[in-house]
């Protein structure tokens, strides 16, 4: 089985969970979303992430994380930052880029870009936590992403649970 064809629990931060299929949601003061990634129930740090803390500085970053939800356009970050590519015309290219390892993101109405990453630390490190199959169908669409938000050195990342039953 290829690394991007694994089962997921994603869908319920915007970084953002129900098992199975994407559901439509609407957020306050935001355009109607085409889909959702993550869930409020999944907006927490899992045991594998907590166990990855090896210094007070690491703990400080985790402690700064918060459950968060954002609605915006799903983009492929590499082409967006390099060339400004987004929208329907970029779906074929962006989908291939994400499929081959480039990070997805969500671009909100104010122009804030959030990386969307799998939350589970060790499974992610070993290629067993993958969100690509959940993100690619949402390329260029408006979606709500729900997960744990961290901000560090000007970067924003939303961590969503990728593995069903993650704790």
Give the chain's count of helices (H) and strands (E). Answer: 6, 6
17-33 pLDDT tens trace: 322 223 323 333 345 66
Q: For the chain, what percent of residues have pLDDT higher than 70?
A: 76
Q: How confident is the model at residue 2 (pLDDT cuts 50, 70, 90)?
A: very low
Domain locations in the chain as residue ranges: 35-160
The two three-digit tokens of residue 95, written as one number: 């989908």
In this model, does residue 102 exceed pLDDT 90? Answer: yes
Those residues whose C-beta lies under 8 Å from the C-beta of residue 18, and which sit 6 or more positions away, are: 9, 11, 12, 39
Residue with tokens 């994603």: 10
DSSP 52: T
Q: What's the pLDDT tens digit per position in 70-99?
A: 999 999 999 999 999 999 999 999 999 999
What are the C-alpha distances in Å from 121 to residues 1, 11, 50, 68?
21, 19, 8, 19
Global confidence as pTM:
0.77
Alpha-carbon torsion 61, 18, 115, 25, what sign? negative
Whole-number pLDDT of residue 10: 31
At 31-46, the pLDDT tens digits run: 566 778 887 776 789 9
Which pLDDT belongs to residue 42?
A: 66
- Model confidence at 135: pLDDT above 50: yes
């Amino acid at each position: 089985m290829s690394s991007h064809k694994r089962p997921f629990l994603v869908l319920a931060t915007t970084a953002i969970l129900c098992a199975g299929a994407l559901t439509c949601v609407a957020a306050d003061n935001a355009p109607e979303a085409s889909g959702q990634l993550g869930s409020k129930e999944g907006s927490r740090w899992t045991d594998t992430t907590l166990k990855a803390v090896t210094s007070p500085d690491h703990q400080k970053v985790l402690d700064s994380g918060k459950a968060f939800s954002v609605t915006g356009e799903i983009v492929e970050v590499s082409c967006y930052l390099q060339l400004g590519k987004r929208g329907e015309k970029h779906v074929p290219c962006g989908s291939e880029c994400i499929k081959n390892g480039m990070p997805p993101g969500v671009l909100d109405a104010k122009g804030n870009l959030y990386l969307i990453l799998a939350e589970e630390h060790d499974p992610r490190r070993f290629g067993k936590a993958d969100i690509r199959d959940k993100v690619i169908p949402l390329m260029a669409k408006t979606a709500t992403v729900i997960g744990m938000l961290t901000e560090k050195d000007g970067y924003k990342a939303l961590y969503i649970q990728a593995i069903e039953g993650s704790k």
